[in-house]
Structure 1
Amino acid sequence: MTEILVQGSDPTATSGAPRVVDHPAWPALKDAVEEIRPWQSKDGSVDFDAEGAPTRESAEAALERVVAAVEQLSPLLPHDAAYHRALVGDLRKWSDGAFGVPDFLDSLLAFQPAAHRADGLQHLAVFPMYTQNGNPDRNLEAVVLRMVWPDWLAELERTRYDNPLFCGITFEGFTSGYDTNSAVFFPETIAVREVPDRFSWGGIFCDREAARFRRVSTAAVDLLGIELPEDVRDMLGDQERCMQAFVLWDMIHDRTHSHGDLPFDPFMIKQRQPFWMYGLEELRCDLNAFREAVALEAEGLPQGRDVQIAVLFDRLFRFPVTGSRVKNYDGLGGQLLFAYLHKHDVVRWTDNTLRIDWDRAPEVTKMLCTEIEDLYRSGIDRPKLVHWFAAYDLVSTYLAPHPGSRWNKGPDALDLTQPPRKLVDDVLPDEFPLSMFYEALAKKLKNVVASTRGITARTPEQPEAGAGVRAAA
């Protein structure tokens, strides 16, 4: 696993507490959890009749090692004492129930990291859960995390960007489900008997986001020959600075989902919609964070400029070439931003070099944010299907749809006697294919993107971007 501390950082500097991962009970806990994970089915249960399954006694012994390790580590984290007591109860309840489908609702409700957001505070969490963009099964996982909550961020949240559930976090240690591309820790991923009325926290690992941003952006800059302003080059070389940019970006992005003219449930959790609707919503939140960052920079906050660079580079260089092409809504948002900036001559691919008009980039990027917000405001007065077509028109103004698309042919090509959710079946898996520019970039960057799996900070050696790499002009 790639558990690498930020070079030059002192993980005990802010809290003064000993690191949980330095205690001998932490590797014991990891080993016990890793022993249990392969025995679990997709829903988290253990089928003792399956081939290769353990005996009930072996499973109980492994679980007791988990309990013992939690009890040894808990005194290091007195703020988590109530949670750890509930956790031990849920673990033993799972064992007493013959390791059926796990139910950790009691310990989930007891875990309240957002109630005391102190910079550097550690937490030890153990849950049966899936990890978004990681492991799709509800396996047992253990993670030690550290809160990122500097005074300047706390003041912005208190006075300007109220977001009481948001937790900026970094990895200290983790089990296999996080040795993946997952950079979030969300309560809705945890196995429970019933969904709570509301969740009370949500965490995003800014160290993983910053590390992969730096690695992919550095490779893309090299490949494309981009001339960087000195402050941007300095930013790409500074993990701590990038982490601060991402924690601010994430905090503003997260709250934007419930702010503004919203013609539908912003998280779209219980809705079936064409994937470009998800893509526009995520891009809207990112571009709002960008716009706020421009204002913060003008007010003298140094992180404001860094958020703008993070949004631009992650959206332009990493998102479009990451993951599969099947309904990749984050990739779509990145393609749309690039195409919009290209149409407005902010980015230009000439002489095998990508040129960026750094002076015009902020205003033109904000223009796209305004177009999406205008779409939302008008959508309040539209039927759902009409709104979906209006959103399609916005995207297809800048991105070429697949030539075989039925949606691109308009309403007459669809069976409008069906409910809107059924028409989603007519959306192609890759409704807006990659442009030739991105097809070439994806081939060059694929190994770099793959190398960011499980990353938490920059490793000593950066991987090569591949053939054709050249120094930036």
Structure 2
Amino acid sequence: MTEILAPEATDRAVLPAQRVVDHPAWPVLKAAVEEIRPWQSADGSIDLDAENAPSGDTVRASVDRMTAAIGELDPLLPHNAAYHQALVADLRRWADGGFGVPDFLNSLLAFQPAQQRVDGLQHLVVFPMYTQNGNPDRNFEAVVLRMVWPEWLSDLERTRFDNPLFLGITFEDFTAGYDTNSAVLFPETIAVREAPERFTWGGIFCDREAARFRKVSEAAVDVLGIELPEDIKQLIADQKRCEEAFVLWDMVHDRTHSHGDLPFDPFMIKQRQPFWMYGLEELRCDLTAFKEAVKLEAEGFAQARDVQYAVIFDRMFRFPVTGDRVRNYDGLGGQLLFAYLHKHDVVRWTDNTLRIDWERAPQVTNQLCGEIEQLYRDGIDRPKLVHWFKAYELVSTYLAPHPGSVWAKGPDALDLTQPPRKLVDEVLADEFPLSMFYEALAKKLRGVIKSTKGITAHSDIQAAA
């Protein structure tokens, strides 16, 4: 087991003046990874007999450059010595085995970043992995990241939002799989021979989330003619402030998946459900973060009010118009929040201008959270299929289903002799299409959404300069 350094030793040993990305070995490692990636198949293997395939010696030379560079970077990161040692062993074993389907379970088990949550701590992460909302193939990726764990957040996690596996992180640099829309680092994406008994960490890149939020919100405000209170203007202009809002939002959101009535994690669940169930779960977690932020604001936490604005703006303006319309459950949650606020006169779209009742927004947003929580609570006493129909009823109260939907016609239109998982096949890919408001907004924000691919705090600042 990796020895865990005491906080005092950690501060001295792992927060060096030199950034990993400034060391000459980092571009060497990054180039070697980028060289290997195009040779890999979807499962991470390399077919040396394929047309135009590299020779085994050529691939091994790239692996050797990777291992040598990792060795040079290792002294900068003594807290990860055991992981680097296991990583080099896994790379060599992959090469000695003829570059088949990679198995990096040993190095995954050795990488334990949640055991040392120190603000500013650097990590070098190298794995064959897919990137969620990015590259679906298990190619090698190399990422240098930095931990976001300020004292105020650490205190909140310890005293009221226990989440020992959560990592707030920011990008330092990355390979091509993260030059995408991916903003997470999850262990379940890594190529291993078998899943470990339990995962021990999960990371959210709050700098990417914040930068996307700022860029899309600024564009949406301009397009919709929204009059912003001064504090929201200042929030959108401040990357650091947005990062603090997102790391708090994400920490509370993440823990909510395992708290409350009938919780489940959409990324971990092994059963099939209609995608509106995943949409409601993601929205429940966001609105729980919103509700907790209202409480924290009353207690004087400056970041808490920012969380409320971030949830409302990101959910209403970015999520519904991002990605395609195939089972887009995050988009569905955003559509539902907007429709609910519109139904209750918190937002009004008149004269091509969106007006928001900022005073009533917290109360009505919490009201929607209460309706979803009541749905979950009542679901404890219902069969699964009845619960799905009740959830559909909640969503369709505010969002119009597709005219061709079978589910919208009710239970009599479905073959209820089939098991519930088979009835999921009757769900349309876009069961709740965009409203006319969102169709128009999507066209106007399409270019801005596209431009946020691969964005970080650094690229956002450079673009604004």
TM-score by structure 2 length? 0.96
Distance across 1 between alignment mates of 2:62 and 2:112: 27
Distance across 2 between alignment mates of 1:16 and 1:54: 39
- Structure 1's 24 and 265: CA in aligned 2 closer, same or farther, altered over 3 A? closer
Instruction: Give the match for residue 279 of structure 1.
Output: 279
Secondary structure of the 1:193 match is coil
Instruction: Give the match for residue 340 of structure 1.
Output: 340
Report how far residue 462 of structure 1 moved: 5.4
Distance across 1 between alignment mates of 2:265 and 2:32: 40
2:377 is aligned with 1:377? yes
2:30 is aligned with 1:30? yes
CA contact (8 A) 1:15 1:119 kept: no
CA contact (8 A) 1:74 1:81 kept: yes
> 1:271 is matched by which residue type in structure 2?
Q
State how many pairs are aligned: 451
Distance across 1 between alignment mates of 2:267 and 2:190: 18
2:289 is aligned with 1:295? no
Instruction: Give the match for residue 423 of structure 2.
Output: 423
2:255 is aligned with 1:255? yes
Distance across 2 between alignment mates of 1:319 and 1:364: 20
Correspondence 1:113-152 to 2 at 5 A: 113-152=113-152
CA contact (8 A) 1:263 1:377 kept: no
State which drifts further: 453-462 or 166-175. 453-462
- Structure 1's 264 and 383: CA in aligned 2 closer, same or farther, altered over 3 A? farther
> 1:134 is matched by which residue type in structure 2?
G
Report how far residue 18 of structure 1 moved: 1.0
> 1:320 is matched by which residue type in structure 2?
P
CA contact (8 A) 2:187 2:202 kept: yes
CA contact (8 A) 2:170 2:207 kept: yes
Q: Which has the higher contact order (CA 8 A, sep 6+)?
A: 1
> 1:66 is matched by which residue type in structure 2?
M
- Structure 1's 419 and 263: CA in aligned 2 closer, same or farther, altered over 3 A? farther
Instruction: Give the match for residue 210 of structure 2.
Output: 210
Instruction: Give the match for residue 239 of structure 1.
Output: 239
CA contact (8 A) 1:211 1:239 kept: yes
CA contact (8 A) 1:119 1:149 kept: yes
> 2:38 is matched by which residue type in structure 1?
P
Distance across 2 between alignment mates of 1:44 and 1:302: 45
Instruction: Give the match for residue 7 of structure 1.
Output: none
Report how far residue 49 of structure 1 moved: 1.0
Distance across 1 between alignment mates of 2:387 and 2:122: 45
Distance across 2 between alignment mates of 1:460 and 1:111: 33
Instruction: Give the match for residue 82 of structure 2.
Output: 82
Report how far residue 51 of structure 1 moved: 1.5
CA contact (8 A) 2:256 2:263 kept: no
Distance across 2 between alignment mates of 1:58 and 1:259: 50
Distance across 2 between alignment mates of 1:289 and 1:380: 23
Instruction: Give the match for residue 392 of structure 2.
Output: 392
Instruction: Give the match for residue 360 of structure 2.
Output: 360
- Structure 1's 173 and 100: CA in aligned 2 closer, same or farther, altered over 3 A? same
Secondary structure of the 2:127 match is strand
Report how far residue 15 of structure 1 moved: 3.5
Distance across 2 between alignment mates of 1:135 and 1:376: 34
Instruction: Give the match for residue 102 of structure 2.
Output: 102
Instruction: Give the match for residue 9 of structure 1.
Output: none
Distance across 2 between alignment mates of 1:82 and 1:263: 35
> 1:100 is matched by which residue type in structure 2?
G
CA contact (8 A) 1:347 1:356 kept: yes
> 1:228 is matched by which residue type in structure 2?
L
2:156 is aligned with 1:156? yes
Instruction: Give the match for residue 3 of structure 2.
Output: none
Q: Which runs of 5+ in 2 are unaligned?
A: 1-11
Correspondence 1:45-56 to 2 at 5 A: 45-56=45-56
- The percentage of counterpart residues that share the same residue type is 78
Report how far residue 50 of structure 1 moved: 1.1
Report how far residue 265 of structure 1 moved: 6.3
Q: Which runs of 5+ in 1 are unaligned?
A: 1-11, 464-473
TM-score by structure 1 length? 0.94
Distance across 2 between alignment mates of 1:262 and 1:423: 21
2:411 is aligned with 1:411? yes
CA contact (8 A) 2:257 2:264 kept: no
For 1:221-248, what per-residue CA distance to the aligned partner results, in whole angstroms no more than 9, with x for missing partners?
0110101110000000000000000000
Q: Could you say what the CA RMSD is over the residues aligned between the two structures, in angstroms?
A: 1.3
Distance across 2 between alignment mates of 1:238 and 1:290: 20
CA contact (8 A) 1:263 1:380 kept: no
Correspondence 1:322-333 to 2 at 5 A: 322-333=322-333
Secondary structure of the 1:123 match is strand
Secondary structure of the 2:133 match is coil
CA contact (8 A) 1:17 1:76 kept: no
Correspondence 1:192-211 to 2 at 5 A: 192-211=192-211
Distance across 2 between alignment mates of 1:460 and 1:97: 44
